């Protein structure tokens, strides 16, 4: 399976379980790896036969800036579901970074990574 990767998509969101996270928001960063067969697009040189990564990037950003959820797991699932809505995409790996998570000790990043496939 071929892969299209989008790394470091950044957007401001209001996700989290704490009231301050919902009120003030914070930055989220998303990495997406789409699994698909790119041969049909390569043979025809036709964008319609692959995943348009520009569109995917806009959709991911819209999800992050959209309705809030408590858990990163939920946010990642929403993004994976949207990626799989593209006909050529057979698999989606989504990593959501929450670099300003409310943790009381020094840290670099908090992430969740999920991998979903078409049934």
The active-site residue out of 98, 100, 111, 116 is 98
Based on its alpha-carbon atoms, the radius of gyration of the chain, rounded to whole angstroms, reads 15
Contacts of 116 (CB under 8 A, 6+ apart): 77, 80, 81, 84, 91, 92, 93, 94
Cα 115 from Cα 13, distance rounded (Å): 22
Active site residue 98: yes
The residues carrying an active-site annotation are 98
């Amino acid at each position: 399976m071929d892969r299209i990767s989008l790394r470091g998509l950044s957007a401001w969101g209001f996700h989290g379980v704490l009231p301050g996270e919902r009120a003030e928001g914070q930055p989220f960063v998303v990495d997406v790896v789409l699994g698909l067969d790119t041969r049909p697009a390569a043979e025809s040189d036709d964008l319609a036969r692959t995943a348009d990564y520009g569109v995917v990037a806009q959709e991911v950003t819209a999800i992050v800036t959209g309705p809030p959820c408590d858990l990163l797991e939920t946010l990642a699932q929403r993004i994976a579901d949207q990626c799989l809505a593209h006909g050529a995409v057979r698999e989606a790996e989504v990593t959501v970074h929450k670099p300003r998570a409310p943790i009381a000790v020094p840290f670099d990043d908090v992430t969740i990574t999920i991998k979903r496939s078409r049934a």
